[in-house]
Amino acid sequence: MKRTIERLLKKYSIGAEDGIRVLVEIGVKELERVRDVFHGTGHVEAILANLEKLIGQGGVKVEKEKLEDLVVAICWHDVWKSKRLPYWPWDYLINNIWDGKGSAEIFWKKSQDVIDERRRKQIYGLIYNHAPVFPWEKRTKTNSELAILRDLDRLERWNKKRMAIWKVRFKKDFRFLGEKLTEQIIGIIFDWYLPKLDGEKKYVFGWSKRKYQQMTAKRG
C-alpha cells in the first residue's frame, strides 16, 4: 500500500478488526488499475496528506468512527471515474455527473460482508454526495465529514501539477476545435466555471480557505 496511506492508518490507529483497513486496501487496489491517472492513487494520497494538515494545522476535530469512514470514502470516491478515459465533450460531462453514484455503487458491491450495514450506508453516502457538479449547489454543513471531503477534493482541482496535466490532455482531446478556441475554453473553465464551482466561498473550513488562496495565488 502507498506510503502516505499506510502512515495515516497507523497514525490514527485504523486497524483491520472492523473491516475498515480491508476496505482501504481494496480501494487502493482498485485505483492501481486506472485508465485515468488524474484520479489515481496520487490524487488519494494528496487528499489524505491535506486531511492530516486540516486536522493538525486547522484544528478540525473528527470522531474516530467518522474519521475511519472519511478515510475509506477518500480512497473510493473516484474509483468509477478512474476507470474511464474521456475522449469527447460528453465524456467529461458524464464523468462529472455520474462520478459520485458510479463510485458509490462499486463500493457497495465490493464492501458486502466486509463491514456492517450501518457503516456501509454512511460511507456510501459520503462517496455518492462528494462531487457537486453545478455552481449553484449548496455548501455542506460545517464539521461534517462530507464537508471535509468536499473541501479537500476541491483543493486538488487547484493543484498546479494536476492542472498542467489536465490542460495537456484537454488540448489533445479537443484539438479538432483548433488551438485558439481550445485555449479560450480552458480560460473559461479556469477563470469562470471553476471559481464559481470551487471558489473561496464554497470552502467550509478556515484552513481550506487559506490553502485555496495560496494555491490560486500561484496559478498562472
Question: What one-character DSSP code corresponds to residue 48?
Answer: H
For domain 3-156, say whether CATH 1.10.8 is its number.
no
- Does pTM surpass 0.85? no
Closest to 126 measured CA to CA, from 47, 199, 8: 47
pLDDT digits (tens, 9 = 90+) for 18-59: 799 999 999 988 888 766 666 778 889 999 999 999 999 999
Cα 107 to Cα 82, 114, 115, 179, distances in angstroms: 13, 11, 12, 39
Lowest-confidence segment of 27-41, 145-159, 162-176, 183-197 by average pLDDT: 27-41
State the cell numbers at 76: 473510493
Q: What is the sign of the dihedral through the CA atoms of 84, 90, 92 and 98?
A: negative
Q: Are 66 and 25 in contact (CB under 8 A)?
A: no
Q: What is the largest CA-CA distance in the chain?
A: 56
What are the residue boundaries of the structural domains of the chain, listed by start? 3-156
Instruction: Pick from 133-142, 146-155, 170-179, 195-204 the range whose average pLDDT is largest.
Output: 146-155
pLDDT digits (tens, 9 = 90+) for 63-78: 999 999 999 999 999 8
Instruction: Pick from 56-70, 133-147, 178-192 the range whose average pLDDT is largest.
Output: 56-70
pLDDT for the residue numbered 135 = 47
Average pLDDT over residues 72-91: 77
